[in-house]
Amino acid sequence: MPVLAAALVAGALALAGCSGSAILPAPDLPTTPVILDETAAAAAISRYRASRGLGPVVVDSSLIRAASLQAEANARAGYLSHEVGGTFDARIKRAGFGGRYAAENLSAGSATFDEVLKRWKVSPEHNRNMLMPQVKRVGIARVDAPGSRYKRFWALILSDG
């Protein structure tokens, strides 16, 4: 039974966010970018931040592109990894951000933004990222990989400027 429990915990972590192994081969799955209402997503994050006494965030098109590239890299690989699209530091610099504060939330499996936001809120590390006081800009993306285990891959990038 302990092995089964460990497998269940590992599966839950993979669905919740920052799990995945860079050792797994990338299957290069077919993907489809999904058009999101990024403004509504930023408003939802801003409302959540306001409920904690923090300032709002605005959508940044460069961060949307960076989030889209990472969501696509994860979807093509079929698993979650912050490294599959290159290191976060390199990716955020390519997006044109050199600020002191930046973070990334990943997730897989959630059908809607509301679902993924709920998951990020209950995950201590993801929640901490969304509640960084210095954060001012966000980019959100979802890319679907119907042939993968999780079907949907999400990326949120937050930055101070």
Q: Is residue 124 part of a domain?
A: yes
Q: Is residue 2 part of a domain?
A: no
What is the SS3 string spanning 54-85? CCCCEECHHHHHHHHHHHHHHHHHCCCCCCCC
Q: Is residue 17 part of a domain?
A: no
Q: Is residue 59 part of a domain?
A: yes
How many distinct structural domains can be found in the chain? 1
Range of the domain at 110: 32-159
Q: What is the pTM of this model?
A: 0.81
Q: Is residue 118 part of a domain?
A: yes
Q: Is residue 106 part of a domain?
A: yes
Give me the helices (H) in the chain, please: 2-16, 38-50, 61-77, 88-94, 113-122, 124-130
pLDDT of residue 49: 98
Please give the chain's pLDDT, 161 residues, in tens: 333 332 322 333 333 444 333 444 446 777 877 888 999 999 999 999 999 999 999 999 999 999 999 999 999 999 999 998 889 988 888 888 877 899 999 999 999 999 999 999 999 999 999 999 999 999 999 999 999 999 999 999 999 97
Q: Is residue 97 part of a domain?
A: yes
Asked whether the beta carbons of 81 and 75 are under 8 A apart, the reply is: no
pLDDT of residue 10: 32
The radius of gyration of the chain from alpha carbons, rounded to an integer in Å, stands at: 15
pLDDT of residue 5: 30
pLDDT of residue 27: 62
| CATH code, domain carrying 59 | 3.40.33.10
Q: Is residue 19 part of a domain?
A: no
